Structure 1
């Protein structure tokens, strides 16, 4: 069972690393660094110079840096998918009669397979905005699922982990709503990114802050929903900290508070500094991490209530 826990944790960490590199691909414009799928310029390993390009490929399409950024992102995707598949196999082997582990593990494995295929569709569509947004949301969902699986396996190994915790009644019901808004935020944020990219593709000489007018209502909606994630999320975390939290809940609550603060800072810097690439990457990444930490808190509260119960 400890092996299952190790692979579940590795899968969760790899997924969030993949979300970061996916943001790097998006912000750097490397989404079409490899214009074909699953190969890159017809090769399993990207070319290192123009002489290695296939004769039917226009050399103007090749950019060494962008090709390798996209290739490494794909490579990490393969590693992540393999880890998740192994986790699912171990879950079926050791926890076949524990739906709270088997079902999300299987769902993550199926979702990562679909997301891998969909990544090819994103490339073939030349980064169609809706497909890119769905791709990002699926990645966040996979991360959330793997956090859940790892935590549930941990509770089977340490069934008394939450026994010393004491939390306000009714607090648990707010977390799924906040998590739902967070997922909508990811979808909305990636759509905004597409809007901004399209704007500067048509107007390459536009100023650094010109995108604000173009985003318009979408930007205001994104900021408003952001407050609906950050403020309630911090309130929930503070209420948990003011109670008698277990070590895991204490860590998760502080993670939510710190990530929410970072998310707000990165969002403000995106506006104030004219949409710098690094801030865009960190803004998406912290949103994904907040979603994972919210689910961690939710699972801990359910465990404290006796759901799911320990399996001996």
Structure 2
């Protein structure tokens, strides 16, 4: 009887196990890729100073399709790109709700849809209230959060996630290193968003020094925010280098390749930051700086998701002493 119940339990587990859906996984990856493009387009709006080129919302000069000239090209183009991402997210959420057996993944899909709707509302508020800094910063940060949600959706539908984890122990501390890197990069992007939206991108006009010094005179909030962003860049470099070294020592190519790419992106990002200052915020390096920051966040977040999925927590190094049996003496 017990053998039969065990067989029934096994067959039920196999039937309820999620199956790899190639189409939905590719669609989720496409949505994440489109989101990165949208972040680049949003960066173009700020870099070109086109945030109020279209003064009304949700229409553009009372039209669905205004003449695409001047700053309208960037601002309305951003709205069009956002509409595409919103539509992709809606399709992904409905598709996931109808075909996904895991409640957590279904909730994640609805969270993505809620985030993209909130992002659209924040975008409208930035126009209606003439680019208030808190709303603009929230708009920028929610974009990064939404990007991470869609990456999680894409990874949770991948073959790697659905396959049984190897159960290898995280002896190199990859889980902690990846999660720390993701959090640090997100905070750095938050500081960067504040810097962009208070107009502090050139508050320190030279590089690599700051007013010819290692430590600039903190004479204003823009200088403080700008310098904090530079320091944050070094902290990001250290965090990603730490992840890179631990991934190499672990010897798993799935982590080593991703960490190598991330380290290269961080070095490229530092060069873009320098170019942004030295070219007095030329559009191309400034916008690439925004998009590359998002790519670094996405890569660190993927590394964290992968490490928590594939690796068990690091075993404790504490040694529990076994009780010593005392010899029995006969009286």
Q: Which category of TM-score, normalised to the shorter sequence, fits these structures?
A: 0.7 to 0.9
Q: Secondary structure at the match of 1:216?
A: helix
TM-score in terms of structure 2 length: 0.77
Shift of the 103–251 alpha-carbon distance from structure 1 to 2, 3 Å rule, reads farther
1:167 CA drift (Å): 5.1
1:181 CA drift (Å): 2.3
Shift of the 90–156 alpha-carbon distance from structure 1 to 2, 3 Å rule, reads farther
1:263 aligns with 2:269: yes
1:111 CA drift (Å): 0.3
Q: Does the 8 Å contact 2:202/2:277 carry over to 1?
A: no
Q: Select the structure that is richer in helix.
A: 1
1:234 aligns with 2:241: yes
Unaligned runs of 5+ in 1: 49-63, 201-206, 308-312
Unaligned runs of 5+ in 2: 1-20, 212-218, 314-331
- Aligned residue for 2:86? 81
Residues of 2 paired with 1:156 and 1:91: CA distance? Answer: 18
Between stretches 164-173 and 11-20, larger displacement belongs to: 164-173
Residues of 1 paired with 2:158 and 2:253: CA distance? Answer: 14
- Aligned residue for 2:232? 225
Residues of 2 paired with 1:190 and 1:225: CA distance? Answer: 13
Superposition map of 1:292-307 within 5 A = 292-305=298-311
Match of 2:178 among 169, 175, 180: 175
Q: Secondary structure at the match of 1:196?
A: coil
Match of 1:37 among 32, 48, 57: 57
How well do the aligned residues superpose, as a CA RMSD in angstroms?
Answer: 2.7
- Aligned residue for 1:277? 283
1:166 CA drift (Å): 7.4
Shift of the 199–16 alpha-carbon distance from structure 1 to 2, 3 Å rule, reads closer
1:218 CA drift (Å): 1.2
Residues of 1 paired with 2:89 and 2:286: CA distance? Answer: 27
Shift of the 172–305 alpha-carbon distance from structure 1 to 2, 3 Å rule, reads same
After superposition, give the CA deviation of every residue in 1:239-276 in whole Å (9 maximum; x if it has no partner): 213322244x3432122111111111111222333332
Give the structure with higher Rg (CA).
2
Between stretches 287-296 and 237-246, larger displacement belongs to: 237-246
TM-score in terms of structure 1 length: 0.82
After superposition, give the CA deviation of every residue in 1:125-170 in whole Å (9 maximum; x if it has no partner): 111122111111111111111111111100467515x649875443
After superposition, give the CA deviation of every residue in 1:10-54 in whole Å (9 maximum; x if it has no partner): 110010000000000110011112111111111110136xxxxxx
1:78 CA drift (Å): 0.6
